[in-house]
Amino acid sequence: MNPDAAPPELDPVIHGQARLRVMATLNVLRDGDEMAFASVKELLGMTAGNLSVHLTKLEDAGYVRITKTHKGRTPVTYVALTKRGRLAFEDYKQTIRALLDNAGGKP
């Protein structure tokens, strides 16, 4: 990286700590797989309201797909990364690597 060049910009939608954790969690699923909202909430130790707010931001960006359905009479919400979300997360990881690889200067 040119030392005079501006560092690459991180995607602000993903960069928030909670949204980064959600994206990283969903990214381990295979393409087309989804995870129940309750499982994501429990795994990340988030409240339902907090997770819902962050999922809405990710959904608005086109990064996640939220599907509401029923299991018997019980409502269930599933969450999955979209293709756009997977690409955005891959770009985010590459940008972080580039920033870290060019940080630090001389030992």
Domain assignment present for residue 7? The answer is no
Cα 25 to Cα 1: distance, rounded to the nearest angstrom: 30
Domain assignment present for residue 3? The answer is no
Domain assignment present for residue 2? The answer is no
Domain carrying residue 89: 12-97
With cut-offs at 50, 70 and 90, classify the pLDDT of residue 8. Answer: confident
Model confidence pTM above 0.85: yes
For the segment 11-37, what is each residue's pLDDT rounded down to a tens digit? 999 999 999 999 999 999 999 999 999
Residue 22 three-state SS = helix
Say which residue, 98 or 22, is predicted with more confidence. Answer: 22
With cut-offs at 50, 70 and 90, classify the pLDDT of residue 106. Answer: low
Residue 77 three-state SS = strand
Domain harbouring 63, CATH code:
1.10.10.10
For the segment 36-63, what is each residue's pLDDT rounded down to a tens digit? 999 999 999 999 999 999 999 999 999 9
Domain assignment present for residue 63? The answer is yes
Q: Which two tokens stand for residue 101?
A: 């690889």
Per the structure, how many domains does the chain have? 1
